[in-house]
């Protein structure tokens, strides 16, 4: 909810588009093509707004439960341009936790050129339940001193990302303004440069908030909110957590205890350090990790980071490079049957450099070295000899160079202290390309040939008009080299009770291993298109959601004969033999579901799994 509110604040509301996305929902614009199917219009008056003679029109939705507005718009009589809009979301619109949503926008006169927003005000009231107190959030944006039809000649002016900075504490504001690229901050800066003055009620509100923020009870409440939202507990200048990872129990480690921390901007705005220590009661191993990052330059967000980690990992979760920071899923994956995910003990050494080269174009260079000790039955041929007496390897070292390019053309970024977050809706797809060049056992007497890995990810959310909103996630992976299966791609399953949008939630860990794969996930949110037409269901504010997951993958070429036993005479996982010119194994997994979402998203009401083999052997 916080990210959606921030995204709405830094979003431009264009009523000439057919749809306005607010809080992740697509509202039909009163000026949209075919808007007569959604709205009723009534001419109320003809008035002057500044120099413009305007028609005052009342708009109201034909169906009260639709995502539409009611209120007033002013249209100029000369060229029928929007001059002003004062709208309220339909009170019966299907919005979770939102009891009131208001949008006001005043435009420039058409005589000055195409209309630009002079003042935009968004008011959102959040109320979890009817009997609880509501929280009202108001965003006001005022624009002035417009300069039209003039290109900027400053080098790189249009290549910089659009970054908004959240307010910081007053005692640090003056010293931080110059480093962050913001205007010089002082107590009276905005009072002197604000295009309009604050009203008496607004000044009183700010004074009350500043006073209440210093109360011990309010500060404790804010700390608990931080703990519930981000998983960290503030202790002085340090954050302890994530709290969800403090304890776990699984079939390999037994009871796992973990204590972690991270630094805050009170210690340093340019340095961010986080670490942890963990211990398992059954395996009696101490695990630990430390990562530090330096924000060398903020305008292009240049970040240098170093990391070392000695911990128990699962092969099933090892190669999911595009898995975002999902603390709930990562904490839950430590519970239960860890041995099914093929446990390993990994020492990770990594150094990376990240920088925004152009607006929306981020490059990351990573050097990493991994010492892997399998904690399950695993072996590979250490030499070219694959006979009965061949030398087998068990320990594995991987030295890799990783190049990553990410392009998000219209991404909105928010800087808060020493972190940067992406908020709001992106109209263009976000593309991430990752290339990995690696060597096995590079520092031994018998190093293996270099291997390559290529990953591509596309994510996007598209408005499909009256049908709602379609989100898709397309990922491709290709490994042309012969490598042990620990290095191959393992499509992400989910054995936790929590839904993960980036995983195959009906698939267990380590069900598939591929050197080439393509996966596609579709999420279609129909909103109230179907259910709002059913009288009994309409009052429940349910929405229809359809999802489909498709995975195709296999082995383009054999990865080499695999040993059947380890050096300790234990059995290794068996792989099917080569089938000549065909692939070893090729399979398509298709899973669909229809869901209802109201206050809580229920999935799996209708689920079908249809394996579609492309060779004689499939799963």
Confidence category of residue 313, pLDDT binned at 50, 70, 90: very high
Q: Please calculate the CA angle 277-283-287 and round it to the nearest 5 degrees.
A: 20
Q: Does the pLDDT value for residue 57 go beyond 70?
A: yes
Instruction: Give the position of tokens 């009661």.
Output: 281
Of 178, 109, 570, 593, nearest to 377 (Cα)?
A: 570
187 or 475: which carries more pLDDT confidence?
Answer: 475
Instruction: Give the position of tokens 């309409």.
Output: 538
Q: What are the backbone dihedrals phi and psi of residue 73, each rounded to the nearest 5 degrees, phi first?
A: -130, 150
pLDDT attached to residue 191: 67
Which residues, 6+ apart, have CB-to-CB distance to 491 below 8 Å? Answer: 504, 507, 511, 512, 514, 517, 519, 551, 553
Range scoring the smallest mean pLDDT among 201-205, 359-363, 400-404, 574-578: 574-578
Q: How far is C-alpha 82 from the geometric centre of its chain's CA atoms?
A: 35
CA separation for the pair 64, 90 (Å, rounded)? 6
The three-class DSSP label of residue 481 is: coil
Confidence category of residue 395, pLDDT binned at 50, 70, 90: confident
pLDDT attached to residue 603: 38
pLDDT attached to residue 526: 86
pLDDT attached to residue 464: 87
CA separation for the pair 164, 51 (Å, rounded)? 34
Q: Does the pLDDT value for residue 608 go beyond 60?
A: no
Residue 131 zone, left/alpha/beta (φ > 0; ψ -120 to 50; rest): alpha
Of 566, 107, 191, 597, nearest to 379 (Cα)?
A: 566
pLDDT attached to residue 605: 35
pLDDT attached to residue 48: 94
273-290 pLDDT, tens digit each: 999 999 999 999 999 999
Range scoring the smallest mean pLDDT among 275-279, 511-515, 557-561, 606-610: 606-610
CA separation for the pair 238, 223 (Å, rounded)? 12
211 class by beta-carbon count within 10 Å (0-12 exposed, 13-18 middle, 19+ buried): exposed
Q: Does the pLDDT value for residue 259 go beyond 90?
A: yes
Six-digit token pair at 153? 């000649």
Instruction: Give the position of tokens 């509301």.
Output: 13
Is the distance from CB of 315 to CB of 510 less than 8 angstroms? yes
Helical (H) or strand (E) element with 222: helix 216-230
Six-digit token pair at 352? 């990376």
Predicted TM-score (pTM) of the model is 0.80
Confidence category of residue 303, pLDDT binned at 50, 70, 90: very high
The three-class DSSP label of residue 211 is: helix
CA separation for the pair 273, 261 (Å, rounded)? 8
Confidence category of residue 575, pLDDT binned at 50, 70, 90: low
Six-digit token pair at 252? 């390999």
pLDDT attached to residue 434: 95
Strand partners, 126: 98, 135
Is the distance from CB of 180 to CB of 415 less than 8 angstroms? yes
The whole-chain average pLDDT of the chain stands at 79
Confidence category of residue 609, pLDDT binned at 50, 70, 90: very low
9-54 pLDDT, tens digit each: 556 788 998 888 888 788 999 998 888 888 999 999 999 998 999 9
Six-digit token pair at 139? 């965003």
Confidence category of residue 172, pLDDT binned at 50, 70, 90: very low
Which residues, 6+ apart, have CB-to-CB distance to 283 below 8 Å? Answer: 252, 253, 254, 312
Q: How far is C-alpha 571 from the geometric centre of its chain's CA atoms?
A: 41
CA separation for the pair 541, 68 (Å, rounded)? 15
Arithmetic mean of pLDDT, 482-490 = 86
Range scoring the smallest mean pLDDT among 94-103, 362-371, 481-490, 574-583: 574-583
Of 286, 305, 285, nearest to 294 (Cα)?
A: 305
Six-digit token pair at 579? 């089938």
pLDDT attached to residue 367: 97
Q: Please calculate the CA angle 427-432-433 and round it to the nearest 5 degrees.
A: 145
């Amino acid at each position: 909810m916080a990210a959606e509110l921030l995204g709405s604040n830094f979003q431009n509301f264009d009523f000439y588009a057919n749809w306005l996305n607010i809080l992740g929902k697509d509202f039909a614009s009163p000026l949209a093509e075919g808007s007569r199917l959604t709205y009723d219009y009534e001419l109320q008056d003809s008035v002057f707004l500044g120099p413009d003679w305007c028609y005052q029109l009342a708009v109201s939705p034909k169906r009260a439960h639709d995502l539409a507005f009611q209120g007033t718009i002013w249209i100029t009589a000369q060229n029928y341009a929007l001059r002003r809009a004062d709208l309220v979301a339909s009170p019966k619109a299907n919005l979770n936790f939102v009891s009131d949503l208001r949008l006001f926008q005043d435009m420039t006169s058409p005589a000055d050129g195409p209309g630009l927003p002079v003042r935009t005000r968004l008011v959102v009231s959040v109320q979890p339940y009817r009997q609880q107190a509501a929280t009202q959030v108001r965003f006001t944006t005022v624009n002035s001193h417009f300069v039209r039809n003039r290109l900027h000649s400053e080098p790189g002016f249009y290549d910089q990302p659009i970054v908004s900075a959240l307010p910081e504490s007053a005692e640090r504001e003056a010293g931080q303004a110059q480093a962050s690229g913001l205007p010089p901050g002082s107590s009276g800066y905005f009072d002197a440069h604000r295009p309009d003055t604050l009203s008496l009620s607004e000044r009183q509100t700010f004074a009350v908030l500043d006073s209440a923020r210093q109360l011990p009870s309010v500060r404790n409440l804010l700390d608990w909110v931080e703990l519930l939202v981000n998983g960290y507990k503030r202790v002085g200048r340090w954050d302890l957590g994530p709290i969800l990872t403090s304890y776990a129990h699984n079939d390999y480690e037994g009871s796992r205890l973990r204590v972690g921390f991270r630094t805050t901007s009170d210690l340093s705005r340019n340095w961010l350090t986080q670490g942890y220590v963990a211990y398992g009661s059954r395996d009696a191993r101490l695990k630990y990790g430390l990562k530090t990052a330096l924000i060398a330059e903020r305008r292009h967000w240049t970040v240098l980071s170093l990391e070392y980690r000695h911990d128990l990992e699962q092969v099933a979760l090892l190669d999911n490079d595009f898995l975002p920071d999902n603390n709930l899923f990562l904490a839950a994956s430590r519970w239960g049957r860890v041995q099914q995910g093929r446990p390993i003990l990994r020492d990770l050494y990594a150094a990376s450099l990240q920088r925004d080269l152009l607006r929306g174009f981020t490059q990351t260079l990573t050097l990493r070295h991994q010492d892997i000790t399998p904690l399950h039955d695993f072996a590979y041929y250490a030499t070219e000899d694959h006979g009965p007496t061949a030398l087998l390897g068990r320990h594995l070292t991987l030295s890799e160079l990783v190049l990553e390019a990410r392009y998000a053309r219209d991404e909105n970024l928010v800087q808060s202290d020493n972190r940067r977050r992406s908020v709001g809706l992106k109209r263009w797809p976000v593309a991430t390309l990752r290339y990995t060049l690696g060597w096995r056992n590079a520092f031994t007497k018998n190093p293996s040939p270099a291997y390559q890995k290529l990953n591509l990810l596309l994510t996007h959310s598209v408005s499909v008009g009256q049908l709602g909103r379609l989100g898709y996630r397309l990922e491709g992976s290709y490994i042309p080299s012969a490598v042990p299966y620990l290095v191959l791609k393992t499509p992400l399953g989910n054995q936790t009770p929590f839904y993960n949008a980036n995983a195959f939630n009906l698939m267990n860990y380590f069900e598939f291993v591929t050197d080439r794969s393509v996966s596609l996930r579709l999420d279609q949110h129909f909103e109230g298109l179907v259910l709002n037409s059913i009288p009994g269901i309409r009052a429940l504010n349910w929405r229809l959601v359809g999802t489909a997951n498709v995975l195709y993958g296999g082995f383009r070429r054999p990865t080499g004969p695999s040993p059947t036993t380890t050096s300790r005479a234990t059995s290794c996982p068996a792989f099917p033999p080569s089938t000549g010119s065909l692939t070893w194994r090729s399979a398509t997994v298709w899973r669909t579901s229809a869901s209802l979402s109201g206050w809580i998203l229920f999935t799996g009401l209708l689920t079908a799994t249809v394996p579609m083999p492309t060779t004689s052997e499939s799963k």
